[in-house]
């Protein structure tokens, strides 16, 4: 059998790049999407210099027509998508009593509606082939809430509702569906937070530091393995102990 194909949305970002590299290291053929071609080609060239060949396809995940075209383009380049990592995401923080409609809609569209847009074009093929792995990259703040993130927390919590429903619908067909909920990871998304706020966050984390993108990628790589076939409908918290529950 040729190597499985993995699509990582938002693969050019901080966590996405680590996931792309890790899955490629495991021998999967990996693809991601882009909105800005120049930026994506520069990213692709950097990875190529490091020995990674990653397929690219244009596609804004908030647009279901563009997302389907992106999936078909990747299928044309690499073959059917066996593994989907719904990782693309944004924040548009603000307290809810001041939140503008576009702050709400942009975050719901990018983090939540996107998972319909990208998963819908891959799920039928996975069902026919009786094998698939789908992972939602949610967030610690979808579990515990966060000041200024009613939009983001709503979207991220919604992702897990999707996970547990899709997991039930597809469990008999060799498809697992899981959520990974990172805590604060040192990527551009978090480095955009003022330094004093970041220092306070790190001090609140039992491990005393932010996470590394590679630590999220490690979990994703674990969940997509053949051996992880009985792990479905789960949420994996990776947050240095910042939020513990069971
Ligand atoms: N960093 C953290 O601490 C943290 C914690 C918990 C959860 N997360 C989640 O982890 C995921 C990755 O976060 P990150 O920190 O790696 O963020 P990041 O570095 O900002 O990367 C985000 C990626 O998503 C892509 N993207 C955004 N909107 C898109 C759209 N409409 N269509 C297609 N692609 C789009 C971006 O592409 P462009 O270059 O085109 O913008 C970029 O590749 C997100 O879902 C985030 O919510 C992050």
CA gap 146, 242 in Å, rounded: 13
Catalytic residue among 28, 34, 52, 152: 152
Q: Are strands 83-86 and 235-238 parallel, antiparallel or unpaired?
A: unpaired
Q: What is the mean pLDDT of residues 153-180?
A: 98
Give the pLDDT score at 188.
87
Ligand 1, pocket residues at CB < 6 Å: 9-10, 12-16, 33, 35-36, 39, 60-62, 87-90, 110, 137, 139, 182, 184-185, 187-190
Which of 81, 80, 31 minimizes the C-alpha distance to 58? 31
Alpha-helical (H) ranges within 101-208 are 101-108, 114-129, 140-144, 150-170, 188-191, 195-204
Per-residue pLDDT for 1 more than 60?
A: no
pLDDT 10s digits, 212-230: 999 999 999 999 999 999 9
126: its two tokens: 């996975």
CA of 201 to the centre of ligand 1 (A): 20
CB 156 within 8 A of CB 97: no
Closest atom, ligand 1, to C-alpha of 91? 47
Q: In 3-state terms, what secondary structure has residue 30?
A: strand
Q: In 3-state terms, what secondary structure has residue 147?
A: coil
Give the pLDDT score at 189.
81
CB 93 within 8 A of CB 149: yes
Work out the pLDDT band at 141, boundaries 50, 70, 90.
very high
Annotated active-site residue 152? The verdict is yes
Residue partners of 169: CB distance under 8 A and separation at least 6: none
Place of tokens 């992880």: 228
Reported in sequence order, the residue ranges of 23-163 that DSSP labels E, i.e. its strands, are 29-34, 54-58, 83-86, 132-137
pLDDT 10s digits, 61-104: 999 999 999 999 999 999 999 999 999 999 999 999 999 999 99
**To test the ligand 1 pocket, which listed residue (40, 61, 90, 181) has its Cβ within 8 A of the most ligand atoms?**
90
Q: What is the mean pLDDT of residues 169-181?
A: 98
Place of tokens 């490690």: 218
The CA–CA distances, whole Å, from 87 to 108, 182, 230 equal: 14, 11, 22
Work out the pLDDT band at 170, boundaries 50, 70, 90.
very high
CA of 39 to the centre of ligand 1 (A): 14
3-state helix, strand, coil split of the chain in percent (to 5) is 50, 15, 30
Q: What are the helix and strand counts (H, E) for the chain?
A: 10, 7
pLDDT 10s digits, 15-24: 999 999 999 9
Alpha carbon nearest to ligand 1 atom 2, residue:
185
CA of 233 to the centre of ligand 1 (A): 23
Which of 3, 2, 6, 1 minimizes the C-alpha distance to 122? 6
CA gap 150, 139 in Å, rounded: 13
pLDDT 10s digits, 34-61: 999 999 999 999 999 999 999 999 999 9
Work out the pLDDT band at 191, boundaries 50, 70, 90.
confident
DSSP letter at 3 equals P
């Amino acid at each position: 059998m040729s190597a499985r194909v993995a699509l990582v949305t938002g693969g050019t970002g901080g966590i996405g790049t680590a996931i792309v590299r890790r899955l490629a290291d495991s021998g999967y053929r990996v693809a991601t999407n882009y909105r800005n071609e120049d930026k994506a080609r520069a990213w692709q060239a950097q990875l190529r210099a490091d020995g990674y060949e990653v397929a690219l396809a244009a596609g804004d995940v908030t647009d279901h027509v563009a997302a389907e075209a992106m999936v078909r383009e990747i299928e044309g380049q690499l073959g059917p998508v066996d593994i989907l990592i719904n990782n693309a995401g944004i924040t548009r923080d603000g307290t809810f009593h001041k939140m503008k409609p576009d702050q709400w809609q942009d975050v719901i569209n990018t983090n939540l509606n996107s998972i319909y847009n990208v998963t819908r074009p891959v799920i039928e093929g996975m069902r026919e082939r009786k094998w698939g792995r789908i992972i939602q990259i949610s967030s610690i703040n979808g579990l515990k809430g966060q000041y200024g993130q009613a939009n983001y927390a709503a979207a991220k919590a919604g992702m897990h509702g999707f996970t547990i429903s899709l997991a039930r619908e597809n469990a008999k067909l060799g498809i697992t569906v899981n959520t990974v909920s990172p805590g604060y990871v040192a990527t551009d998304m978090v480095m955009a937070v003022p330094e004093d706020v970041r220092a306070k966050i790190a001090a609140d984390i039992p491990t005393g530091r932010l996470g590394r993108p590679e630590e999220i990628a490690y979990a994703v790589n674990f969940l997509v393995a053949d051996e992880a076939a009985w792990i479905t409908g789960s949420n994996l918290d990776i947050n240095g102990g910042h939020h513990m529950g069971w």
